[in-house]
Amino acid sequence: MERTIPQVKLESGAGRAASQFLNEKGINRSLRIDLRFTGCCDASLCLRVDDIGEGDLYMEADGLTFIMDTEVYRLAGGVAIAYVEEKDRKGFLLTSERPVSEWEGFGVSDIQV
């Protein structure tokens, strides 16, 4: 059976910011694009340090390995990862082919360890 490769697009600077984060922490693992819930209504996508597990899809880009749960990929589709660095706002911004909530793209988040 052919392997599904998730569509993950790294906007400019996002790969570098992610590598830098992992290097600083001395982490040599993959990044999971995960669905998470941060309270009262509306899930969001985030990046999390993790290892590949059963039923996970993966792809490599900019020297990083991204993994995604099959179900999460089925829900969200391809994901674009940007890195925002403004005066008072810093973090990763994830948007997906099929938004997981009406707020997608509104808030930024750090890589979860």
Question: Which of 24, 102 has the CB closer to other proteins?
Answer: 102
**72 binds other proteins per the rule CB under 8 A:** yes
Q: Which residues does residue 78 pair with via DSSP β-bridges, in sequence order?
A: none
Cα separation, 79 vs 68, whole angstroms: 10
Binding letters toward other proteins, positions 30-69, x by CB under 8 A: ----xxxxxxxxxxx--------x---------------x
CA atoms within 13 A on the CB side of 86: 8
Residue 72 · residue 61 · CB < 8 Å: no
Binding site for other proteins (CB under 8 A): 34-44, 53, 69, 71-72, 74-75, 88-89, 99-109
